[in-house]
Structure 1
Amino acid sequence: MSFFVPLAAALLVSTSQVPLATPLALPNGETAQLAADLVVYEADTKVVTARGNAVLRTETMQLRADEVTYDEVNQLVTASGGVMFVGPSGLAAVADTAKMDVRTYEANLEGGLFMQKQGVTQEALFTAKTPQELRAMGETPLLMSGSRIRRTGENTFLVEDLAFTPCNCSPGEPGWRMEASSATVVLGERATMTLPVVYVKSVPVFALPWLYMPLSQRRTGLLLPKPTFSSLNGFSLEQPLFITLGQSYDVTLTPGYFSGGYELHTVPGATEQVREPRYLGVKGPRLLTEFRYAPSERTRGRATLGFLYDLRPIRDPRSFMFYRRTEDGVASPEFVDERRGLRGEASWQHTQDMGGGWHNRVDASFVSDGNYTRDLTADLITREFTYLRSTGTVFQRQDDLYAGLDVALRQDIRWGYRFFQDNRIPAATDPARPDLKGPNTFQRLPAITLALPERPVLGGIMGGLSVQYLRLAPLRGGYGDEGIDGIFRADGFHVPFGSAGWPFPADTTQSDGIFNSNDREARDRVDFFPRLSTSFGLGSLMRVSPSLGMRQDVWLGEVSGRTWQRGYPIAGLLLESQVARVFEGRETSFRHAITPSLELRYVPGGWGRLPSAGASGENLARPYDEVDAAVPFQSDGRTRGFLHAVLAVDQTLRFKRGNDIREPLRLRIGQGFDLTRHVPAAGKVDDPGPVLRDTFARLSATAGIFTAAGTVRYDPNAGRISGLSAEVNVDNGKGHAVYARFDDLLWTGGDALNRGADPRSVGPDVLRRSLDTLVGGLSRVEPGFPPAERAQALIAGTRLKLGFGLGVRYEAIVQPLYQDPITRENRPLAQQTFGLSYGPACDCWRVEGVVTSRRDLGLEFSGINLIVADFGSFGSGG
């Protein structure tokens, strides 16, 4: 209100008699239009009064009121009766009455309300005839009122008894507000308040002696503190600080401190369990920095860098337990109290459109050691991650060409090895201080791909080609140094095939620094894959799509200097038909289609063989990735020919309403066949297994707020389900949702792996089809090994919005087959998460308290989450 009153005063001062509608010149040089049903000037009192639909308008503002008076002697302006003001930058105001001293710009308001408007033009705001109509227009990200307002600058006000809502709530009755005895407000920038109190409805819920509140989406300021308590890390407190660096860049600094958690340990030489710091968890200060940038519509990214000074004792990376002091070679109960020191994390996500069809993308994550993620989070799923994968690529994609270069890095976080420091045993445990060598993980450094999508080459024949150069190598040295069995094991043993159990013999060649045994060496590979295909109809009942391709690979071992090559032809044939019926309605038409198909894939055999591992020269094939294992192979790496078939029936239901086409139902049922043993050219004696492979069904369904999908695979030879996954989601889009996902699959099993079983001989690895095949293999049980085990997991949860702005959230992770390793009791409930939240009806913010119950950690307070949107810089940095 204080912005427009001086303009009105200047107008009224400049004239003594005014027609009902006339242009007027203001002292600042602007031209204004004053219109009213009656304009009266009292010469003796020098008071000008405009009554009845009084409208004052300039190029940048408009004032409406039932009556406006100006007292020239006392320099007072009064506006009353449905007072409305529209100014520049979306500023609008309504009031019952307003009285202002022109000399001091001090105003007293009754029923006054300032609004910052968005999503509506100023011309549209000018058309509002009533305060209610003005309030309802557009969006209102800022509401402000006060009993006395003094203007100290163009957009700066000193306000007494301030009450405001800095987000897009209903201008009639916002569900929350902030009040302060006094405040300095700079519209569009900030508000500094003395004795602020947050009210939800009419209930005070939070108070501070002083507060700085940003009022724009990019203002530097403190974000909400993040307190948490967990048995893993005790009490922790983090305080984010958002710093804007212009319109395209910002930084969030989050210092914090973790107090650390404790638990009971069984230690050497002690008769009872001892209370010690937790093996997993941290204690100490941390600083997390998040940098975000979006300099153009084509480029955006986010980078984080975090450092933690961990005061907890160092651990053995192989077992996660503390090192114990030794006395005469015997372990004592006392742990080695040597700090873990500086630890950290980093990540970078970046996308860029460079023009001309060129793009680049980075998605990278790094941690200082394998335990970093487990120490900072107790979430069951996050703690089970075994690798961190980082990728970067630059590519050009056109209609007839794809060319790209990419790299992929993996960090093995199965154990606690430090990646950028040595892992020496402390002298208090072993005076020799040996350095424990971790896994030398292979990376994709780099891959260069050129692909020509299929295009007409001769008549109706289509042709395509892909060529790729790939280097798979560790970051350190030219080989993995895995040892005798070609698998890195933290315990330093190797597992002979068929071993019944401990004690396993030591793997003396693992991490010995010598390329020998079955060490994997760095390889360079060129993969060449041309393909021809065509498609034609047999009348109106069937479509035939034959194809012919060839895969040729050449490898170079970087340490041994050996070369290998392997190639094979691939023939394919797809036969499909379709029966469809359309049901026409008044506004909607439905189309039901049944599509039976038969697909064949044939490889008669090949030439050459896969590379082997190690320096011994034995012809034992060792594939590295999906291209290496694209087809079945014999132990010496020679290609095993095959003839595969998949017979399937697809059903789809689609509806069309206007231009809207949707598919609410799709069902695919099929049967896989391995016909290899009936084809002499394919080497039938190598695979005496049955013809049938998995029977499968896939379903996806959508109906309004309901969506569901599922896949089931059944092994008819073993008479069991080999894989099952299903998910259901019900979401009404108004905050109410129920969801569930269930997975059930076979895996080799820990006992079988400990006896040296090949993971590819049983379970999902053997059932999963390879790159150039149509069906997987047979899950056989090797003599002397346990059979495949089942692994099951159910994740289910719900979200509900209750009355008064309350919301609840619940999620459970259930492992139905889990048994306690010590008591052998069935303990299926792995983790439960419960959240209770509150937010106003406008949903510009929501605060949530979360508690979590985990199988081995019990109930704990997991912290407070603040979810914000369009709430000043809180919306950007929160």
Structure 2
Amino acid sequence: MSFLLPVAVLLVSAQLPLSTQLQLPTGETAELAADYVLYEPERQVLTARGHTVLRSGELLLRADELSYDQVNQVAVARGSVMLVNGLMAAVADEVTVDVESQEANVKGGLFMQKRGVSPEALFQARTPQELRNLGETPVLMSGTRIKRTGQNSFEVDGLAFAPCLCEAGTPSWRLEASSAEVALGEHATLTWPVVYVHSVPVFALPWLYLPLAERRSGLLIPRPSFSGLNGVSFEQPVFITLGRSYDLTLTPAYYLGRAEKDVTRTLDGESFTRPEPGRNGIRGPRLLTEFRYMPSAGTEGRATLGLLYDFHPVRNPVTGDFFLGEDRSLIRERRGLRGEASLQHRQDLGGGFHDRIDAFVVSDGFYTRDITADIIARENQYLRSTGVLYHRGEDHWAGLEVGLRQDIRWGYGLLGSNTAPAGAVLDKELTPAPRTFQRLPNLTWALPERPLFGRLVGGMKMEFTRLSPLLSRFGDEGEDGRHDPDRLLVVTNPSGTQRDPDPAQGNGLFDASDREARDRVDLLPRLSSSFALGPYARLSPALSLRQDFYLGEVSGRAAQRGYPMLDLVVDSELARTFQFRGSTLRHSLVPSVRLRYVPLVWGGLPPPGASPERPGQVYDEVDAALPVTPPGVARRFLHAVVELHQTLGARQASGARSELLRLTLGQGFDLSRHMPTLGQGVALDDDKTVRDTFGRLTASLGAFSGGGVIRYDPNTREIAQLSADFQVSVPQGSIFARYDDLMGVGSDRLRRSLDALVGPALSSAQRAQFLTAGTQVSLGFGLGIRYEAIVQPQARNESPLSQQWFAVSYGPACNCWRIEGVARLARGQTFPDFGANLTITGVGTFGTGG
């Protein structure tokens, strides 16, 4: 607010407008205009009436009447008071200002932070309502007493604050505080704030910091929550701005953990009962740090570090059970310091060079299951991290990649630690942690296909891959080449299948079928062409060659395997266009036949370095690129796929295009047994010629979109895959669902290998079913409902409902803010987990998630 110094003026006729310059207390000059101005020398009072306007620089004051008492240094603006200072605006019925103390008492006042409008447009507003309607109002405040403490800072008593305004009248919600410190355009610090929704108090805090602009440092809204996994917890995020391109969020938290319960256990035929905490979950303090940066348009990233001191007792990394002492008492040695870290980074280095990092790590394999109750996150078996540096040119792609995996199927430490606490009695020795194989590194050089001469097109891809454990040169898996936490291997003999001890696993020796670190060079050149078969069809032949060279780093043995691949595609297209309700529809049929032939295979996969007489070992998808065969037998093959593609597209009069329907029907064939074998190779007499029959459908029409895949194996007369999903937009909401039913080894992508066109016949009755469905609807009056369920129909001896979410929210129609209560019930829980989320436009979402 600006204040007048004494000015001597004469009485001027009320019929003539007056414009005069005045000296402000700050030393600035202001322009005063009114219908008339009166100065009373005896009382030393200046009064301006009728369309009064006072302007100085970026500040503009409008009122019906403005008076200034020189003796008491009090200025009063009455009637339709409007104040504009940059993008800050205010309206009031009356404002009384004490010039000396810089305090103002406001009646019927509202202070607004504007955006989407220029200060000049705000200056032109003639009425308070016109000023309120201009642009957007992300912040709305009012107060009974205001004291200016700086150029744009104030102390406010009786503050009422709404961070977002979307209604024409009084906001449907607000924050009220007994006092506050406000920095316009920056932040507000509130003492004893209370959240009101339609004049009903719903939430109170002793202190609160709220940003009035993006990227302002301060406390964010706290996050209290309760879960059946970790009991009551409280988090208080702190946001710290580190310049325009960097910020830091610190989130200290404390988890009280679940209450201990009496558990009855049986050991050596004797039962006993004692209080124990839950096997999963945490208890203790935690600090999560998140650092974000975007210093340039081509560089961005996010790094997190979470540290936790866990008071719960340590567990067996294999079984997850607590350790017991000699007297069968629970050993309560604390798990101690645990944590997590992640880094996502993208950067354009210039000159065609780029880098990308996606890294995730936890202190131990149980960490994810202890922190989150979400069933999907808890089922992860590996954390995968990649880092790649690559160069992309017009005629090549070259990259260096490092790929790491952390095995979290068991509770081993990050570097494989599995030490039992002192005094623990063990039934058997703890198994060493698995030595997970990593890509250290992978080098790729690729030439995209380009014209060579005539119709001939060629390309090339070359990879060097080193597969090795991080801290060793062999896996120490034992006789079967697989890690088993119980050190057992499957043995099949005439009496049946049984599991026997595997003494070679984890013995620290390179023996049996231990996988050794392996270096591989993979070459894949390709030549292709395309010819027209008259006006109705196209023929596209291709020839490629996969050649692999292997070297074992421990045994020093080398091996090689190679095979050519002949591809032949014949396709055609029939299309028709027609008009329908002002749109042009195009229907097309594209029949195609694709053949892939591997006539011979030379060489084979390297066997275990310590047991060269055994069959070759498969490490990854390149090693498994040939179809599955009996152990040690290389396989040539001829596969065929016949498909019919149909599409229906629409083009509007405006030129907009959309695809309404796409349907693909196909049949796979394995013709290997009917083709001659060249060189090393074998065709199995019991191979089935006819393989999966499949169909794929996607559709989009108005509010509906969806699709599905079905694969039927005629040999076993079983549906190998059935997947479907849909989403329907309904008034004020949507309904969605996805269903997956997989037989055998999974979907088509899993059933076939890298170079094959069709997968193997089903050899097992393994089945997985998964249904996710839900809805999200707004019911009017700002009320919203969200429900989602995960169903596993094949679940045995337990509820098929593996997890459910139910949420009720409330907020205005413009979603300026929304508060949501969430309940999540997982299978096996007696009571659901509860949480709450608060979303404020321009500020963010705070709460428990879900």
Query: What range describes the TM-score normalised by the shorter chain of this pair?
Result: over 0.9
Equivalent of 1:371 in 332, 351, 366: 366
2:241 maps to amino acid: T
1:391 aligns with 2:386: yes
Distance (Å, rounded) in 2 between the aligned partners of 1:532 and 1:15: 95
Cross-structure match for 1:361: 356
Q: For 1:680, what is the secondary structure of its paired residue?
A: coil
Mapping of residues 18-57 of structure 1, within 5 Å: 20=17, 22=19, 24=21, 26-27=23-24, 33-39=31-37, 48-57=46-55
Task: With the length of structure 1 as denominator, give the TM-score of the two structures.
Answer: 0.89
Q: Take 1:352 and 1:15, find their aligned partners in 2: how far apart are those partners?
A: 67
Please give the residue correspondences for 1:194-213 in structure 2 after superposition, counting only pairs within 5 Å: 194-213=191-210
Match of 1:255 among 252, 256, 259: 252
Does structure 2 retain, via aligned residues, the 8 Å contact 1:590–1:653?
Answer: yes
Secondary structure of 1:532 counterpart: strand
Aligned partners of 1:133 and 1:610: how far apart in 2?
A: 79
Answer whether contact 2:628 2:760 (CA < 8 A) is retained: no
**Which residue among 106, 117, 121 is the counterpart of 1:120?**
117
Shift of 1:543: 2.0
Q: How does 1:683-722 map to 2 (within 5 A)?
A: 685-686=683-684, 688-722=686-720
Distance 2:687 2:379 in 1: 36
Is residue 436 of structure 2 the alignment partner of residue 445 of structure 1? no
1:322 and 2:334 matched: no
Alignment of 1:832-843 (within 5 A): 832-843=804-815
Identity within the alignment, %: 54
Deviation at 1:227, TM superposition (A): 2.6
- 1:20–1:34 Cα contact (<8 Å) kept: no
Compare 102-111 and 395-404 and name the one that shifted more: 102-111
Q: Is 1:461 aligned with 2:460?
A: no
Could you tell me how far 1:26 is from its partner in structure 2? 4.5
**Mean CA deviation greater in 629-638 or 127-136:** 629-638
Structure 1 residue 415, shift from structure 2 partner: 1.2
Give deviations 1:574-628, integer Å, cap 9, x for gaps: 2221122223367532222221111111111122212222411125121211111
Judging changes above 3 Å, is the alpha-carbon distance between structure 1 residues 92 and 636 closer, same or farther for their aligned structure 2 residues? same
Could you say which residue in structure 2 is the equivalent of 1:518? 513
2:76 pairs, out of 74, 78, 99, with: 78
For 2:396, the aligned partner's letter is L
**Aligned twin of 1:267:** 266
Cα deviation, 1:352-401, whole Å, max 9, x if unaligned, reads 22222222111111111111111222222121111111111111223322
1:715 to partner: Cα distance: 0.4
Q: Confirm or deny: 8 A CA contact 1:837 1:848 kept in the other structure.
A: yes
Amino acid aligned to 2:803: Q
Deviation sequence 1:333-354 (CA, Å, 0-9, x none): 4333332222221111111222
Q: State the match for 1:777 in structure 2.
A: 760
* C-alpha distance in structure 2 between counterparts of 1:316 and 1:56, whole Å: 77
CA displacement 1:267-319 (0-9 Å, x = unmatched): 31543654422222222222222222222222222212122222222222221
In the aligned structure 1, how far is the partner of 2:497 from the partner of 2:686? 34
1:280 equivalent in structure 2: 280
Cα deviation for residue 733 of structure 1 reads 9.2
Equivalents in 1 of 2:108, 2:665: separation in Å?
Answer: 68
Cα contact 1:425–1:434 (8 A) shared by 2: no
Aligned to 1:817: 794
**TM-score in terms of structure 2 length:** 0.92
Q: What is aligned with 1:860?
A: 832
Mean Cα deviation higher: 99-108 or 563-572: 99-108
Higher mean displacement: 18-27 or 172-181: 18-27
- Residue 610 of structure 1 aligns with which residue? 605
Structure 2: how far apart are the matches of 1:209 and 1:788? Answer: 61
8 A contact 1:578–1:596 mirrored in 2? yes
Instruction: Specify every segment of 5 or more residues in structure 1 that has no aligned partner in the other structure, as ranges.
Output: 327-331, 748-761, 781-786, 821-825
How far did residue 249 of structure 1 move?
Answer: 2.3
Q: Does the CA contact (< 8 Å) of 1:21 and 1:33 recur in 2?
A: no
Equivalent positions of 1:508-547 (< 5 A) are 508-547=503-542
Match for residue 480 of structure 2?
485
Q: Distance in 1 between matches of 2:215 and 2:749?
A: 54
Q: Which SS does the other structure have where 1:123 is aligned?
A: helix
Gapped regions of structure 2 (runs ≥ 5): none
1:65 maps to 63
Q: What root-mean-square deviation, in Å, do the aligned CA atoms of Structure 1 and Structure 2 show?
A: 2.9
Shift of 1:207: 2.5
Residues 624 and 342 of structure 1, relative CA distance in 2, 3 Å threshold:
same
1:700 counterpart letter in structure 2: T
Between the aligned partners of 2:119 and 2:494, the Cα distance in structure 1 is 82
Which of 7, 23, 26 lines up with 1:13 in the alignment? Answer: 7
Answer whether contact 1:323 1:336 (CA < 8 A) is retained: yes
Question: What is the CA–CA distance in structure 2 between the aligned matches of 1:72 and 1:425, rounded to whole Å?
Answer: 84
Partner of residue 800 from structure 1, selected from 774, 777, 780: 777
Higher mean displacement: 226-235 or 714-723:
226-235
Whether 1:242 and 2:214 are equivalent positions in the alignment is no
Match of 1:848 in 2: 820
1:416 aligns with 2:393: no
* Larger mean Cα displacement after TM superposition, 586-595 or 597-606: 586-595
Aligned pair partner of 1:402 in 397, 408, 411: 397
Q: Is the 8 A contact 1:40 1:48 kept in 2?
A: yes
Change over 3 Å in CA distance of 1:497–1:53 after alignment to 2: farther
SS at match of 2:626: coil
Query: Are 1:81 and 1:96, in contact at CA under 8 Å, matched by a contact in 2?
Result: yes
Q: CA deviation at 1:50?
A: 4.4
Q: 1:693 to 1:163 in 2, by over 3 A?
A: same
C-alpha contact 2:8 2:41 (8 A) present in aligned 1: no
Counterparts of residues 640-719 of structure 1 (less than 5 Å):
640-657=635-652, 658-681=654-677, 685-686=683-684, 688-719=686-717
Counterpart in the other structure of 2:108: 111
Structure 2 Cα separation of the partners of residues 499 and 475 of structure 1 = 40
> Residue 85 of structure 2 aligns with which residue?
87
Indicate how the Cα distance of structure 1 residues 770 and 204 shifts in structure 2: closer, same or farther if over 3 A, else same.
Answer: same
State how many pairs are aligned.
Answer: 839
Question: Aligned AA for 1:801?
Answer: S
- Flag the 1:136–1:865 CA change in 2: closer, same or farther, 3 A: same
Partner of 1:154: 151
Q: Secondary structure at the match of 2:214?
A: coil
Q: Which residue number in structure 2 is paired with residue 306 of structure 1?
A: 306
Which residue is equivalent to 1:784? none
Q: Measured at CA, do residues 353 and 777 of structure 1 come closer, stay the same or move farther in structure 2, by a change above 3 Å?
A: same
Residue identity matched to 2:759: G
* 3-state SS in 2 of match to 1:802: strand
Name the SS of the counterpart of 1:124 in structure 2: helix
Query: Is the 2:557–2:609 Cα contact (8 Å) retained in structure 1?
Result: no
Corresponding letter in the other structure for 1:236: S
For residues 483-516 of structure 1, the C-alpha deviation after alignment (integer angstroms, 9 at most, x for no partner) is 0011100001111146978862110100111111
**Cα offset, 1:64, TM superposition:** 3.0
Contact 1:267 1:274 in 2 (8 A): no
- Once the two structures are overlaid, the 10-residue window that deviates more, 414-423 or 115-124, is 414-423
What is the SS of the residue equivalent to 2:555? coil
Q: CA deviation at 1:430?
A: 4.6
Q: Find out whether 1:630 has 2:613 as its counterpart.
A: no
Distance, in Å, in 2 between the alignment partners of 1:202 and 1:458 is 79
- C-alpha distance in 2, partners of 1:872/1:236? 21
